[in-house]
A and B are shown apart, each in its own frame.
Chain A
C-alpha cells in the first residue's frame, strides 16, 4: 500500500551513473523534517477539530450553562439531560427507520449491481454495452434534478410517506457508481479462472457466486460502505417523500429537532452527536475497511 514510503533498494542501474552514495531516507524521499508541512497539518487538524469539540462540549451543558458560560469551555457540571431529552423524543424509532432504509437499499443495490457488473464484464452483447453506457451516463447527471417526477411516481404508487418510498429511488441512484466500481474490479479477475471453471461445466450463475464474488469481495464491501454512508446521511428523499414522524429518518429528525427545540441548542447538538455516534463506532472498529471503501472506486 504505502509504496512511496517503504522504499525498496533501487535497482543497481539507477545508482551506477550518478556515483553518489544513496541516501537512506525515512520518508518519501525526504531526509529533513518538513516543518511547513507539519504546521499545515496541525492547522488543518484545528480546523477539523474545533467544530467537533464545540458540538460535543455544548451538548453536555445545561441550558443555563449554555447561555452563561464561555462557549468554548467545557461545562462545569456536565449533564446528559440533553441526550435523555433526545432519546425520549423517538430517537430510537428514527434510528431504526434509518437502519431499515439503509439496509433495505444497500443490499438490493449491491445484489443487482453485482449481477449487472458480472454480465457487463463477462458478456459481449450489444445490449450489455448499451446498458453499461447508460449507467455511465447516470454518473454525469445530477440525478436529484429528477425529484419532481420521482415525487409524482411515488404519490401515484401510493407509497408517499412510507420507508419503501425512500428505498426504491435510493437503490436506483446507487446503481451507476456501484456497477462502475464492481466492474472495474471484476475486470482484474484472470480470464483463465473463468475458462477453467467453464470447462468444468459451471454455469454463469455458479461462476458468478463461486468465483467472481470471492475474487471481488473487497470491492463489494467497498461499494456497500460507500452506498450505506450515502443513504444513511441522505436528506433530500426523506424531505420530499416522507412527512409523518413514524417514517422520519435520522438526518431529517435532526432538522425537525432543530425546528422544535430551536432555543435549546445543547439538545439540538446532542441529537447531532447521537446521530453520528453509530457511524463513529463503525469508524473506530473498522476504520481501514471504511476508508478504503471510500476511495477504492476512485483510485482504481
Chain B
C-alpha cells in the first residue's frame, strides 16, 4: 500500500500521517484509481459484462470521429456559457438583496432557498409536468406562449434546460454571495455614504470589488459544476429531442451503459476530466490566488 511507505517518513513533530491514511485510502481507491482506470479503459474494448480486451486506439478513433462527440462538446459549451450568463448576475444581485436587514427580505430568502432541498430528479420531474403544453403552466395561466412543446422543440429545449438549471442552482450561489456581502466591513458603506455615494455607486465602488474572491469562487463552482449537470438533463430530456441536449456527461453515460461501449465511454470520461482540469486551472489563474485563502483576503 502506498500509504505505509509515505507515512514512514513522518518522524518529526506533529501528528502522525496515519491519521490521514483512512481518508487517503478511500480517496485513492474510489477516486484516483478509477481516474487511472478510465484512462486505461479508453484503450480497451468492453461491453460492460464480458472480458476487457486491449484494443489500442480504436475507442479514441471512434469517439473523435463521431460527430455526436463534437455535438456533445458544443452542447456542453453552450449550456456552460448560458447558464453562467444567466446565473451569475441573478445570484449576485439576490445575494446583495438578501444580505440586507429588511424583514421581508429575510422572509423571501427563506423561500428562495427551498430549491436547494430538492434532488435534480425531483426538479426535472416537476418541470416535465409543469411544461406540459396541455396540462401545465401555459393552459393554467391561459397564456398561449407558455403552452409550447418546450421539451420537444429542439430550438427551445436548450434554453429550457438552462432555465431549470438556474432555478435549481441560483439559490446556492445566492447563498455564497450573501455570505460574501455580509463580510464586507460596514465602515466602507458608512464612508461612501458620507461622501454622498448613491446606491448604484456604492454597489459598483464597494460591493463588487469587495466581492472579487466570492465572484471567483462562485464562478469556478458554476463553470466546473456545469460539467456535472447529468441527472437533471437525464431525467428532463434524456438528451433529446434528437441530440439537442446531449451533454458530454450524458453522452458518456449513454455510450457506456446504453450502447454498451465502455471503451468509447471511457475515452469520453478522459475528455471530461481534461476539460474539468483545464477549466479549474484557468479560473484559478484568472483569480490569481489560491481559492483556499481567497475569501479571508477579500474581507
Contacts and interface: CB of A to CB of B under 8 A. Distances in A.
Interface residues of B, number: 125
Interface of A: 1-8, 10-11, 14-15, 18, 20, 22-23, 25-30, 32, 34, 37-38, 40-42, 44-45, 47-52, 54-55, 58, 66-67, 70-73, 111-113, 115-116, 118-120, 122-128, 130-131, 134-136, 138-153, 168-169, 171-173, 175-176, 179-180, 184, 204, 208, 229, 232-236, 239-240, 250-252, 254-255, 258, 265, 268-269, 272, 275-276, 279-280, 283, 287, 291, 294-296, 298-300
B175 A4 contact: no
B265 interface: yes
Contacts of B218: 298
Q: Which 9 pairs from chain A and chain B are nearest by CB? A: A149-B37, A299-B179, A72-B140, A172-B30, A5-B101, A140-B280, A233-B119, A71-B140, A146-B34
Interface string B192-224: 111110010010000000000010011001001
B63 to A, nearest CB: 13
B239 interface: no
B168 to A, nearest CB: 10
Nearest to B227: A142
A234 B110 CA distance: 23
B121 A252 contact: yes
B27 A172 contact: yes
Secondary structure at chain B's binding surface: helix, strand, loop or mixed? helix
Interface string B119-154: 111100111111010011101110000000000000
Given A45-B111, A142-B227, A283-B117, A149 B41 contact: yes
Given A47-B167, A119-B19, A134-B32, A34 B199 contact: yes
Nearest to B174: A44
B99 interface: yes
Nearest to B202: A29
Interface string B239-273: 00000000001001100110000100110011011
B162 interface: no
Nearest to B136: A71
Contact of A145 (B114, B190, B272): B272
B186 A49 contact: no
